[in-house]
């Protein structure tokens, strides 16, 4: 008997395999970055189909097999697909997905990162940002991702930027120190050598 892991997760990537299956990359809150097989998901009658669309946020039940995780059930909570389709938010959203996918490997939980991404995607979904605000917002988001993944030093300034609410006031503050933040981000990314 396999233990069933109950978690919430965001579908980062889905690749078709076999006749009707998909292999999913799921960022979960409790298990970290999980790669899992979803059997029969491409069949029209599949109950998993709607819950596990690209960039869906869902409650997911997983079992760990000998070689791979398997999705046993899922319930949709919401979807961030519109962020990947909007002309305004698509570049930023796709950059975030790509960066996290590149830097966060493994099945170790990182609840702070997961919560940050949920806050980020929710803010992008609910608020209207100017093009300038989006540039400053992106710098804050990337800095926070690097911080939560351990690629950025824990300094008083970084700690303050990470703990502040992701709102208009933080965007204004970020605009003032954008050059310093970009320097820290670029140095951190160079040091990852990825």
Does pLDDT of 1 surpass 70?
no
Q: Examine the domain organization and report whether 128 and 74 are in the same domain.
A: no
> What is the spatial distance between Cα 40 and Cα 22, in angstroms, rounded to a whole number?
8
At 118, is the pLDDT very low, low, confident or very high (cuts 50, 70, 90)? very high
Query: Which residue from 150, 100, 146, 151 is spatially nearest to 121, judged by alpha carbons?
Result: 100
Query: Which residue from 168, 177, 167 is spatially nearest to 143, judged by alpha carbons?
Result: 177
What is the tens place of the pLDDT at every residue in 31-85? 999 999 998 888 877 888 888 999 999 999 999 988 889 999 999 999 999 999 9
User: How many domains does the chain fold into?
Assistant: 2
Q: Examine the domain organization and report whether 67 and 88 are in the same domain.
A: no
Confidence (pLDDT) at 33: 94
pLDDT over 70 percentage in the chain:
98
> What is the spatial distance between Cα 41 and Cα 48, in angstroms, rounded to a whole number?
6
- Helices (H) and strands (E) in the chain — how many of each? 8, 5
Query: Domain end: 17, 44, 79, which one?
Result: 79
Q: Examine the domain organization and report whether 91 and 177 are in the same domain.
A: yes
Mean pLDDT of 112-117: 95
Domain extent at residue 115:
81-192
HSE (CB half, 13 Å, CA atoms) of 113?
Answer: 29
In the block, tokens 């170790």 appear at 108
Q: Examine the domain organization and report whether 113 and 68 are in the same domain.
A: no
Q: Examine the domain organization and report whether 20 and 48 are in the same domain.
A: yes
Q: Examine the domain organization and report whether 70 and 139 are in the same domain.
A: no
Q: Examine the domain organization and report whether 85 and 28 are in the same domain.
A: no
Q: Examine the domain organization and report whether 40 and 61 are in the same domain.
A: yes
* C-alpha separations of 97 from 44, 56, 83, 141 in Å: 28, 13, 11, 12
Non-local CB neighbours of 172 within 8 Å, separated by 6+ positions? none
In the block, tokens 């050598």 appear at 193
> What is the spatial distance between Cα 81 and Cα 59, in angstroms, rounded to a whole number?
17
Q: Examine the domain organization and report whether 122 and 147 are in the same domain.
A: yes
Q: Examine the domain organization and report whether 74 and 123 are in the same domain.
A: no
Query: Domain end: 59, 79, 99, which one?
Result: 79
CATH number of the domain that 63 lies in? 2.40.50.140
Q: Examine the domain organization and report whether 90 and 172 are in the same domain.
A: yes
Q: Examine the domain organization and report whether 107 and 140 are in the same domain.
A: yes
At 194, is the pLDDT very low, low, confident or very high (cuts 50, 70, 90)? low
3-class secondary structure, 141: helix
166: its two tokens? 């992701």
């Amino acid at each position: 008997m396999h233990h069933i892991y109950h978690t919430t997760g965001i579908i980062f990537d889905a690749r078709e395999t076999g006749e009707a299956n998909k292999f999913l990359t799921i960022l979960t809150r409790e298990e970290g970055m999980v790669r899992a097989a979803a059997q029969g998901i491409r069949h029209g009658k599949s109950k998993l189909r709607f819950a596990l669309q690209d960039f869906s946020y869902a409650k997911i039940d997983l079992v760990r097999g000998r070689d791979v995780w398997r999705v046993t059930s899922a319930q949709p909570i919401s979807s961030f697909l519109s962020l990947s389709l909007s002309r305004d938010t698509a570049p930023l959203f796709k950059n975030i997905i790509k960066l996290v996918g590149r830097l966060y490997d493994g099945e170790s939980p990182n609840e702070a990162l997961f919560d940050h991404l949920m806050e980020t995607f929710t803010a992008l979904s609910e608020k209207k940002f100017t093009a300038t605000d989006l540039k400053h917002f992106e710098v804050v988001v990337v800095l926070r991702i690097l911080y939560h993944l351990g690629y950025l030093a824990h300094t008083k300034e970084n700690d303050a930027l990470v703990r502040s609410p992701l709102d208009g006031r933080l965007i204004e503050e970020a605009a003032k120190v954008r050059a310093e933040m970009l320097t820290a981000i670029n140095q951190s990314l160079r040091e990852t050598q990825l």
